[in-house]
Amino acid sequence: MIHHWTLQQFRLFEAVARLRSYTRAAGELHLSQPAVHIQVKRLEESMGLPLIEFVGKRLLLTVAGEEVYATVQAVLAKLKYLEGALMDMKGKVSGALRIGAVSSAKFFIPDFLGHFLREHSEVQPLLKVTNRERIIERLIANEDDFVIMGQVPEGMSLAVHPFMENILVPIAHPDHPLAGERMIPLERFAAERFLMREAGSGTRSATERLLAEQGLKASIYMELGSSEAIKQAIMADLGVSVQSTSTLSLELETGRIVTLDVVGFPRKRMWHAVHLQGKQLNLTAATFLEFLVRKGAKHHLRTEAFKGH
């Protein structure tokens, strides 16, 4: 019996099954929602069984769908490995480099990639920048060679490679009443109107943990979905926040945002390259990881400039 299953159908079904949404899958794959739906429907017809069902508005996999999903994941993972293995056999740093990164890393990862590509022009970077929750999903699904994040999720078997300091500082508008004051007590800082990222953000978690250690809790005035949105709110003098210095270079240089001298800051964390434990990186991914560690060690974010700012 000849089955007319295509690799494209497998890729589309995998995205729909993983994201539990035709719309999100279409967006990720840069296709129209009807095009994705048609191909998945053809796959179902070819297999002679429904793979997807809806309960209310929830997209669920049938028993057959779960079986196909597991197999398709294994097939796509093997193909990724094959692509890398063939490149390794050629001894060339080339081909696809798949990197996922939390949104705060977008301020430095393109620069790292740019320098790397000048050394290895045959590499084809595929960079996906999204929120922490989605990056963890991509990590679990092994969608990338590795992901870039600050706070590493607990309870997972992961290989973690620290490569650069991630320094968190308190920030405000230059005209804020706390600007220019020295040794501001943490209690006073915590009483200000706080601008925070969404729950689950690594920076938010680190800030809330520091405050909780002192029996404090921030009064969240606004919850915003990106570092850019928070910076815009700070420049509008809507409150205070805590941000990574890697996101602030331009605003600090131009004086549109200032750091505050708050007791307990700056907080030193690390940026990490993370992948599933036991995963064998291909030559291109391994070379980029080595590049990150080497460049990160030299990439001083001028820590001293933020001590007593």
Instruction: Specify the pLDDT at position 299.
Output: 65
CA–CA separation, 188 and 209 (whole Å): 17
Task: Check for a shared fold between 7-73 and 93-163+270-301.
Answer: no
Q: Which class would CATH give 93-163+270-301?
A: alpha beta
Return the DSSP state at 152. P
Q: Domain spans of the chain?
A: 7-73, 93-163+270-301, 165-269
SS3 60: strand
Q: Copy the structure tokens of residue 12.
A: 């589309």
Peptide bond into 34 cis (omega under 30): no
CA–CA separation, 269 and 14 (whole Å): 35
Q: Copy the structure tokens of residue 288.
A: 């980029």
Where helices occur in 91-123 by DSSP H, the ranges are 109-119
Q: Which class would CATH give 165-269?
A: alpha beta
Q: Which class would CATH give 7-73?
A: mainly alpha
In what helix (H) or strand (E) does residue 289 lie, and over which residues does it extend? helix 283-298
CA–CA separation, 67 and 195 (whole Å): 45
Residue by residue, pLDDT tens for the chain (309 residues) are 456 788 899 999 999 999 999 999 999 888 999 999 999 999 999 999 999 999 988 999 999 999 999 999 888 878 877 776 776 677 788 888 999 999 889 999 999 999 999 999 999 999 999 988 899 999 998 989 999 999 999 999 999 999 999 999 999 999 999 998 999 999 999 999 999 998 878 889 889 999 999 999 998 999 998 889 999 999 999 999 999 998 998 899 999 999 999 999 999 999 999 999 999 898 999 999 999 999 887 765 444 444 444
